Amino acid sequence: MRGLAVFIVSLVPGLLWLWFFARQDRRREPLSALLLAFFAGMIAVAPAALVEFPFRELIATPPNLFVRFLLAFLVIGAAEEGAKLLAVYFAVFRSREFDEVVDGIIYAVAASLGFAAVENLLYAAAFGIGTAPARAVVTTLAHASFGGVAGLYLGIAKLYPGRGLLAALPGFAAAAGLHGLYDFLIMAKLVHPAAAVALVYVTYRFVSGRIREVGGKAGAP
């Protein structure tokens, strides 16, 4: 029963957040495509973990703040946001359903929520189901929001192929930077955790605003 409870409290919040974000898009994406991106994001936890694995001891007990800073940005942020973007690319980027700039945001959010669901499952299994509520709200929204920033630029890359996938690099850099800053604020404990929550909220507002602004349009934002 405990295993089932851990599974439910990890997976259901991600699906609810997926429904929440998908409803903001004026031209709704097919459920099958959204779920494909979601499950691709779940799988993306594996390559991200492989990148982070050699640094596991440093991540757990960094010798100083500078090392912690580098790990947050260059390892955790880059690995996880990169894995989520690759999930979107392989799952739906070349699909005919991906035909608007806003689709990059929506599918990146979907993949990020799948990623967060597995991460939350691992945390709940390791540290107890008591970790689930905060992760279901704050951490899951953080993954979705950071992924949405990267997805915006992936959408531009798809709709304007002349620019190539290099057009997605600024989005990846921004997402990795935001993710790294969030993790650094949480791990370093230099400021109140409310600062990290505020970062998530501001990023969410940006992503939500871009969904409303470019949703239903084929042009760049």
The continuous run of DSSP H or E covering 175 comes out as: helix 169-188
Residues 74-88, mean pLDDT to the nearest whole number: 97
Instruction: Check residue 1 and give its pLDDT.
Output: 65
CB count, 10 Å around CB of 41? 30
On the question of pLDDT at 16 being above 60, the answer is yes
Give the pair of three-digit tokens for residue 36. Answer: 């494909």
Lowest mean pLDDT among 29-43, 131-145, 155-169: 155-169
Cα–Cα distance between 105 and 50 in angstroms, integer? 26
Instruction: Check residue 90 and give its pLDDT.
Output: 96
Q: What are all long-range contacts of 56-63, with beta carbons under 8 Å and residues at least 24 apart?
A: 62/187
pLDDT tens per residue across span 98-143 = 999 999 999 999 999 999 999 999 988 888 788 888 888 999 999 9
Instruction: Check residue 220 and give its pLDDT.
Output: 43
Q: Is the pTM of this model over 0.75?
A: yes
Residue 217 banded pLDDT, cuts 50, 70, 90 = low
CB count, 10 Å around CB of 185? 20
Lowest mean pLDDT among 59-63, 139-143, 177-181: 59-63
Residues 158-168, mean pLDDT to the nearest whole number: 80
Cα–Cα distance between 177 and 169 in angstroms, integer? 12
